[in-house]
Amino acid sequence: MNRNTLIAVIGAALLAAAGGYYFWQDHEHAKSAPPSAAAGPHIDNPLAPAPSAALPALAGSDGALSTELAQLFHTQSLSDLFYPTRIANRFVATIDNLPREQVAATVRLMRPPPGAVAVRGEEPSLSLAPENSARYAQYLQVLASADTTEAVALYRRFYPLLQQAYDELGYSGHYFNDRVVEVIDHLLATPDVADPVPLIHPSVMYKFADPRIEARSAGQKAMIRIGHDNAAAVKAKLREIRAQIATRPAA
């Protein structure tokens, strides 16, 4: 496999889950609430230092990342999958938003999946159709193509840019890899929901009929929307990634 970018590190799995978000939500922005910075960073999951290598400036990193992504996907049509600007910043912000109520439209990295949400039945007996999971085939191809060990090595290499982007979100004094592990654990805690998944259609957007599901985070609802088999594949990849970037035991 060609050398992967930092996006393939945890992005393949996390963004596969994030992809399930797009067909559902409106265009309201998420409200992030960064914690106050401590005197010094408390690190629960330190990354082993990567061999020193020259990195581009964060503001000028899109070209290098786009090149790496083109190698990863064996394509020059990156615009079909990714928004091409502020790639590292979007990556960090998307991950940070997944445990929140919404992923802000202005920070999303992956483009929406094609087509409209597939449903079956009519109100008041709407449910998510099994064929809806096929809309996420591209995300799952990204997931399958990423070699976890190689990807984590590159995550470590590009980590200074990710940490800088995290600092710029207002988290100076906090460690981005700890947030990544926290988000992975949050997604892994998504419950399995038996088919069919009931829906309601109160306005333009569909919602889960079960208020307990609808009240879950953007990331966990996305894991449910992408379908049981896709969610299982995402969780398996997340566990592989966590084993290589986390030192804190899973809850």
- Around Cβ 16, how many Cβ atoms within 10 Å? 27
Confirm if 63 and 147 have CB atoms less than 8 A apart: no
Nearest Cα neighbor of 185 from 29, 47, 5, 10 is: 10
pLDDT digits (tens, 9 = 90+) for 223-247: 999 999 999 999 999 999 999 999 9
**Considering the chain, what is the average pLDDT of its residues?**
81
Q: Which residues contact 155 (CB under 8 A, 6 or more apart)?
A: 6, 9, 10, 47, 162, 245
Domain boundaries, the chain: 6-116+133-192+217-245
24 in Cβ contact with 205 (< 8 Å): yes
The enclosing H or E element of 182 equals: helix 176-188
pLDDT tens per residue across span 87-112: 899 999 999 999 999 888 788 888 88
